[in-house]
Structure 1
Amino acid sequence: MTQTDQIIEAFDARARRREERRGFFKNAMGMAAVTAAGAAAMSIAGEAAAQTAVTEVDVLNFALNLEYLEAQFYSYAAFGTGLPANLLTGGVGTQGTVVTGTGTGSARQVQFSDRGIAAYAREIAADEVAHVTFLRAAIRGTGTSDALIAAQPQIDISGAAGGAFAAAAASTSPALTGFDPYANDDSFLQAAFIFEDVGVTAYKGAAGALFNNKTYLEAAAGILAVEAYHAAIVRTALYARGVATPTITTAQNNVAATTAISNLRDSVDGGTDLDQGIAATTTNAGTTSNIVPLDSNGLAFSRTPAQVLNIVYLNPRSVTAGGFFPNGINNGNSGLRSSAAN
């Protein structure tokens, strides 16, 4: 069974329960459970730390791996080039290459038709490169050695057949056939949507592990805020363009595409509903858009590191590699390299 087949199998199994999960948030028991789930996700420093001795540096390196992925994608999309070599080295793990693909769909500068979207892409790319630089400096501390810094692992940002984006698109329902994240403004925004909400939930979920170090906690909170701004920009642009131009070159409506991507993320990260597209849901039925994904208490969702890896590995099972990280992430703590068994 291929990786795509595994994802589709998991998606089909959970799709039948999706409406039940939506309804879960509408009653008092659901509200209490959401609060408990959020508290559990914030307690990575408790249970996970007790089992695998997770350190603050481990958590920062986990975040750094995600920032490598985002920074490379946005840099190629905005400028046609990747990160400079001096931002890729480290003493933790094996430094990997960036899989850009060949031929049609290869990673490249997007030929934007909307000057506003092009400006967003350049701004977000600069922000993500700054995050990589900042996290590396935070982990290095006052010394000069990179021994504690996670090297960039192998990253797949190819839009070509056989690449991670193609696998993700094929696993949505309905499938985003012929999806090329570098083809145009809409495809770029849909690809960005895959990452941005995950980044927000990842930083929120990791906050508990940094609680005892105010410097690290403040840094993570600052990055969380930036990722939330990015997510809002992407979600707003997708919704506005989806309403104004329902049919795009990929033959997908932007609203429908984000719903499909959201459902895919939910299908691999566990049985609870932690994701929403940009269309109105049962938790915000009084509105017509859903720019800010919230639970029934008006709070952003949290994901554990393992749930985040389920998404970037594109696999609902407990694995240590796949998807956008073909060889897995680089982290000195083995407990922060495996996805969850869902």
Structure 2
Amino acid sequence: MYCIIRPLSAMRNPYSSFSTFLFATSLLMLELQVMAISSSAPPHCGPPLPASDADQVQFAMNLEFLEAEFFLYGAHGEGLDKFAPYLTKGGPPPVGGRKANLDPLGFKIIEEFAYQEIGHLRAIYTRVGGIPRPLLDISKENFAKLFDQAVGYKLVPPFDPYANTINYLLATYVIPYVGLVSYVGTAPYLHNFTTKALVAGLLGVESGQDAVTRTFLYERKDLKVLPYNLTVAELTDKMSKLRNRLAMCGIKDEGLIVPRELGAEGLIETNILSADDYSLSYARTPQETLRTVYDTGDEHVPGGFYPHGANGRIARMLLKNKD
């Protein structure tokens, strides 16, 4: 039996080999986990496409553009072309935006959201570069189609998000949550510390906007949305179920009232914040997100809020890769 003794000079870090082993083992376990997810999940619910940090954050700009334009028009009747035209990078103005008939509280909420979205776009533009604003359809006709699809029949008269505060906050319910779960889905795949910090900051405010919206609506959950025979809670439930159907990857969206088994710790039906069994935020991939905001259930087929599709490398690659 032989024993090899290395000189102390060669042992600068006696734990280096063990550290290398642990690092390699961790990488292997991560790869196995990704493979397990990919093999066990349906093909349309697998991990997101490989992309750089910049590509992933620029993808989120599509949602930030939608929020900024909808909130700016709702509060002021004008959009980014007035408030921050350089952020659009020459992209076309939105279709159908108009000033909403908001009460004083609704106006304060939406005006703050609007200015926050300008800040979000500035943050992304400054740190990773911007993309051209995509064509956005924020018309009352587009929202009417979406709400008809959610309830399963044509509402008469057609749903108008700009008609009053309740309608506008119900329309708002449709938007920030999509950005929230998209950021949650993006975060694990980022590599750079600066980009991670940016997404964490964006996610915090998007979560807050969603919480404010849901709380406002929960306080009015039993209110009938005139002239329809539907309550605020019923409409949120139907909209969440529609988004789950469009995204096609299980329950990742819930209304203001849920069956007890879906409530926090299976103990309550109140659902002011939508979360999973561990009260953690749900996550969506870019593919799931596009299926939802396109209102087509297909990330390759544009429509809904994005008649010509979203911009950035990820979204355009998915459009090109349609079979």
Please, what TM-score do these two structures have when normalized by structure 2? 0.78
Change (3 A) 1:334 1:71: closer
User: Which amino acid in structure 2 is aligned with residue 134 of structure 1?
Assistant: A
Aligned to 2:110: 121
**Cα deviation digits, residues 132-181 of structure 1 (max 9, x gap):** 111111123xxxxxxxx210011100013xxx212211211244711111
RMSD: 2.6
Aligned to 2:220: 241
Q: Name the CA distance, whole Å, in 2 between partners of 1:96 and 1:320.
A: 20
Q: Name the CA distance, whole Å, in 1 between partners of 2:143 and 2:304.
A: 8
Change (3 A) 1:307 1:155: same
Change (3 A) 1:302 1:334: closer
Change (3 A) 1:334 1:255: closer
State the secondary structure of the residue aligned to 1:172: helix
Alignment partner of 1:112 is 2:109:
no
Unmatched tracts of structure 2, length 5 or more = 1-36
Give 1:58's match in structure 2, choosing from 55, 60, 81.
55
**Cα deviation digits, residues 62-104 of structure 1 (max 9, x gap):** 01111001100010011111113222106xxxx223111xxxx
Aligned to 2:127: 138
Q: Name the CA distance, whole Å, in 2 between partners of 1:336 and 1:279.
A: 38
Q: Name the CA distance, whole Å, in 2 between partners of 1:220 and 1:263.
A: 27
Q: Name the CA distance, whole Å, in 1 between partners of 2:254 and 2:78.
A: 32
What's the CA shift for 1:267? 0.8
Alignment partner of 1:198 is 2:178:
yes
Q: Name the CA distance, whole Å, in 2 between partners of 1:74 and 1:128.
A: 8
Tell whether the 8 Å contact from 1:318 to 1:338 is kept in structure 2 after alignment. Answer: yes
User: Which amino acid in structure 2 is aligned with residue 313 of structure 1?
Assistant: Y
Alignment partner of 1:99 is 2:95:
yes
State the secondary structure of the residue aligned to 1:76: helix
What's the CA shift for 1:251? 4.1
**Cα deviation digits, residues 172-199 of structure 1 (max 9, x gap):** 1244711111111111011111112111
Give 1:269's match in structure 2, choosing from 247, 266, 272.
247
**Counterparts in 2 of 1:35-184, with a 5 A limit?**
44=48, 48-49=49-50, 54-84=51-81, 85-89=85-89, 95-100=91-96, 107-113=97-103, 115-140=104-129, 149-160=130-141, 164-175=142-153, 177=155, 178-184=158-164
Q: Name the CA distance, whole Å, in 2 between partners of 1:132 and 1:60.
A: 10
**Cα deviation digits, residues 42-80 of structure 1 (max 9, x gap):** 964xxx21xxxx111111210111100110001001111
Alignment partner of 1:331 is 2:309:
no
What's the CA shift for 1:340? 11
Change (3 A) 1:241 1:213: same
Structure having greater relative contact order (Cα 8 Å, sep ≥ 6): 1
Q: Name the CA distance, whole Å, in 2 between partners of 1:65 and 1:318.
A: 14
How many residues in Structure 1 have an aligned counterpart in Structure 2?
Answer: 275
Change (3 A) 1:234 1:339: farther
Greater shift, 282-291 or 232-241, is seen at: 282-291
What's the CA shift for 1:248? 3.2
What's the CA shift for 1:216? 0.7
Tell whether the 8 Å contact from 2:120 to 2:202 is kept in structure 1 after alignment. Answer: yes
Greater shift, 309-318 or 299-308, is seen at: 309-318
Q: Name the CA distance, whole Å, in 2 between partners of 1:339 and 1:191.
A: 30
User: Which amino acid in structure 1 is aligned with residue 204 of structure 2?
Assistant: A
Unmatched tracts of structure 1, length 5 or more = 1-32, 101-106, 141-148
State the secondary structure of the residue aligned to 2:311: coil
Change (3 A) 1:250 1:135: farther
What's the CA shift for 1:314? 0.2
Runs of 4+ that moved beyond 6 A: none
State the secondary structure of the residue aligned to 1:154: coil
Greater shift, 184-193 or 247-256, is seen at: 247-256
Q: Name the CA distance, whole Å, in 2 between partners of 1:252 and 1:338.
A: 37
User: Which amino acid in structure 2 is aligned with residue 128 of structure 1?
Assistant: E
**Cα deviation digits, residues 295-318 of structure 1 (max 9, x gap):** 112211000000000010001134
Aligned sequence identity (%): 29
Tell whether the 8 Å contact from 1:99 to 1:156 is kept in structure 2 after alignment. Answer: yes
What's the CA shift for 1:265? 0.1
Tell whether the 8 Å contact from 1:309 to 1:339 is kept in structure 2 after alignment. Answer: no
